[in-house]
Chains A and B, each alone.
Chain A
Amino acid sequence: MNKKGFEMSFSFIFAIIVGGFILFLAIFAISKFSSNQIQTQDVKTMKSIEVLANSFELGYENSTITQIQLPSDSRIYSYCNNLGSFGEQELILRSKYYDKWSERGSGIISKNKYFFFEEPLQSKSIIVFSKPFDFPFKVATLNYFIPSSQEYCFMDPPTWIKEELEKTQLSNFVIDDCQSNSIKICFEEDKDICNVIVYLKENYVEKDSQRYYFSGTALMFAGIFSEKEQYECQVKRLMQRTDSLTDLYLGKINFDLAQGCSANQQIDLIELKNFVSTLEDSYDLTKAPDFKNMLNKNSRSPCPTW
């Protein structure tokens, strides 16, 4: 070393540069790896929920309820499309680690399930309850996701809805006794405190000045618990499935006819098929054929179609 100044040997500079480069590479690789790990965990959690959803498929039960604990505070997003014969719904989960939300990774695509929820659904624990959607035969099981901590207050509901809610035994559903932070659902009347208004005579749910037309209790709940875009897309997917099921029942009638029996439903089913294939949005549900006649024919026939 020189007495007048600080002198660094070449080997020392070389070691610092290469060492720094190796350190940079290691930190970069670790951060990339941990980010990928979080995304992988998110996909795994979402897939677990989707797998579990198979058990929500309803047979003769009226509804099921399941509580799902997530590994950390999470947000669930839904992307729905009507491509192909049945459309599909992609569910994406983003979790919170060290006060930071994970990046949007790939999601889980489902073709045979229908999930409804307010987007983004944010919670560490979610409740899934399911109801069958009939149009007029069973078309699918609808699954609703609600955050465990959110209370839904139904104000002055009609008796049959009260009974439906009581059957679920969910503490999240409160009748009349509303807390200030609960989501208030009113029936037939527009009060200032109402977040959601259900018009049962006109068959629509009004939320954020938007109308969600429904047919049946299952779609009414779907309207209450989902976003407009998601709802409309899912209604179309349900109609796509109804269309395919109508074909199956028309084929089944031919089998019954060959055995000398029929519920005489062909014309009604063709009318239903024409209706579902031309449906553009949920408003068209108000123009649906009268199902009372179809249901009567089916229940009274010696050879019911469904």
Chain B
Amino acid sequence: MKKAQMKIQQMAFMLIAVTIFFVLVGMFFLTIKMATLKKDAAFLKEQEAKLLLDKLASSPEFSCGTSFDEQIPNCIDFDKVMVLKSKISNYSKFWGVSNIEIIRQDTKSTESCTPQNYPDCKILSLMNENAEGISVSNFISLCRRSSIMQDPYNYCEVAKILITYNEN
């Protein structure tokens, strides 16, 4: 090999090395940026779930309104949510979460709520019972209409609302 050819080859290798170096630096920078972006997205998702949790009891699909005589803050209408469960296919992506669960605290039952066992049940799972992800929860008032010998009265109890969301 001639001296000039050798020099060209050296230069070519040098240029390739420089290019690879800059590409690696760029990739390193991109990885850091992507990690920050992922962290930001996860933070926003968490914030969204927490705010939704705070305000879900105010949304008309859940709220008691004036249905139980007085306006009860943070109150969910159990009867209405049972109806909502039967129509949940329409609401699948409405709140952007994987599942919404209402867990009664003052009951011996351990069963999931179905039209057959309602209201003698523990957990009302609205979307996907087996949804995996991160959950946030809060306490609410859960009210429904009840009766003794067809004499109706309002029954309210403490329950927990749990929202499960997927980070991705």
| Inter-chain contact total with CB atoms closer than 8 Å | 131
From DSSP, what is the main secondary structure of chain A's interface residues?
helix
B156 → chain A, closest Cβ, in Å? 15
Q: Is the CB of A260 within 8 A of B152?
A: yes
Render A156-199 as a binary contact track against B, CB cut-off 8 A, 1 for contact: 00000000000000000000000000000000000000000000
How far apart are the CA atoms of A251 and B159 in the complex, in Å? Answer: 22
Interface size on B, residues (CB 8 A): 54
Evaluate whether A255 and B79 lie within 8 angstroms (CB atoms) in the complex, with A10-B8, A261-B147, A306-B67 already known: yes
Known: A55-B55, A252-B80. 13 other contacts (CB 8 A): A11-B8, A33-B30, A55-B51, A59-B58, A86-B90, A140-B60, A247-B87, A248-B61, A251-B82, A256-B152, A259-B150, A260-B147, A305-B67
Q: Is the CB of B87 within 8 A of A18?
A: no
B residues contacting A by CB (< 8 A) are 4, 7-8, 11-12, 15, 18-19, 22, 26, 30, 33, 37, 40, 44, 47-48, 51-52, 54-55, 57-61, 63, 65-67, 69, 71, 73, 77, 79-80, 82-84, 86-87, 90-91, 93-96, 144-147, 150-152
**B60 contact set on A, CB distance < 8 A:** 137-140, 245, 306
The stretch that binds B, out of A40-48, A203-211, A220-228, A269-277, is A40-48
Nearest 10 pairs of A and B residues by beta carbon: A251-B83, A260-B150, A54-B51, A59-B58, A57-B55, A261-B152, A255-B79, A259-B147, A85-B90, A51-B48
Q: Is the CB of B65 within 8 A of A306?
A: yes
Q: Is the CB of A54 within 8 A of B79?
A: no
Evaluate whether A304 and B19 lie within 8 angstroms (CB atoms) in the complex, with A11-B11, A54-B48, A261-B147 already known: no
Interface size class of A (residues with CB under 8 A): 35 or more
A288 on interface, CB distance cutoff 8 Å: no
